[in-house]
Structures are given as C-alpha cells and as structure tokens.
Amino acid sequence: MQRFVWMVLALALLSSIPTQAQAPEAASAFTLEGDLGVTVEGAFYPILSPVDALLSALGEPIQAASAPACVYEGLDWEYTYDAGSLYTCPMDGHDVWYEFYITAQGASTARGISIGDPLQAVYDAYGEDYYDEGGGMITYSVSGIPGDLASPCIIFGIEEGAVVLIDVYYPINI
C-alpha cells in the first residue's frame, strides 16, 4: 500500500512539471491541446494546468492580488510581471491559470510568437483561419466561430504590422 501511495504522489508531481515545448506544425489546425498554453524559457505550460511551475519559471511577480473566486471555492489571483498579467483560479483542488495577457518579452505562444514579431510571422505560424476583431485585434479560437466568447482562444493585438499583445485565454466564467 505504501508503495502505491508513493507512486501516486510521484505521478502527481510529474504531471505538474512543464513539458518541453513542441510547437504544432505551422498553419495546422488550432487546438486546445496544442495551442492553448505558453512557453517560458523553452518549457511549455498548458492552460488550466496547476500554476506553481509557471509561477516559478516567471519568478517573483511585481504585484499579486487576490479576490474571492467568481466560479469556484477559493481565491482568484492576478500576478503582474514585466511580461504581462497572469490570472488564476481554484479548480479541482489546484490553482490553475486560465489567462496570460502578454505585453512584453518573457513568454511566447506554443508556436513561438512573441511580442514584437511581425504580423506575417503570426500568419505563417497559425494560418489564415482567424477572425478580425477590428482595431488591430485578430483571434484564433478552438471553435473557429467569430464572436464565440465561450471558445478558448489566442488574441493578437497588432500595431504597425507587429505583435504588441498576446492574450492566451480560456473562458471559465461562461
């Protein structure tokens, strides 16, 4: 029995360790499993995964604020970094991350897009299956349906032909 408990603990620990980033093929279908996550220093952190390893990779936040969770029991957190803001919530006994609003270097998408990359690099990586939000915002979503607010997505903010913000987002409040 003791051996079984140690095996379960070891598996739980291993599942929280980030995986090596393996980007989906360029211009391939946008998926929850392959695209919804961020890469920090070569390690991939999937969305809705326990946040501890990602927080460790990002280092000490500039600011951390919490509030009672909107959907689940516990606290929602916002961690502010030079690279942007990371949002977490309690889910299934862990704090998981559900949004990373990236505004500076320090994190990239699963397909390697970072702040400052040209718009053409986004098209090359993700293809033409996006919808234009207007105002320099383009969205790649799992559903592919324009305006589907319940679909996990990545939103790219574009100014003067370059990426100025990346919002990796899983809508938990819908």
pLDDT band at 19 (very low <50, low <70, confident <90, very high): low
pLDDT at 174 over 90: no
Q: Give residue for tokens 């211009």.
A: 27
Residue 47's identity, in one-letter code, is I
CA dihedral 159, 143, 28, 97 (to 10 degrees): 70
22-51 confidence digits (pLDDT tens): 789 998 999 999 999 999 999 999 999 999
Query: What is the pTM for the complete model shown?
Result: 0.87
Bin 126: left if φ > 0, else alpha if -120 < ψ < 50, else beta: alpha
Nearest to 166 by CA among 96, 117, 97: 117
> What span, in angstroms and rounded, lies between the C-alpha atoms of 171 and 156?
16
Provide the pairing of β-strand 108-109 with 75-81: unpaired
Structure token digits, residue 157:
């903010």
Q: Per-residue pLDDT tens for 71-116?
A: 899 999 999 999 999 999 999 999 999 999 999 999 999 999 999 9
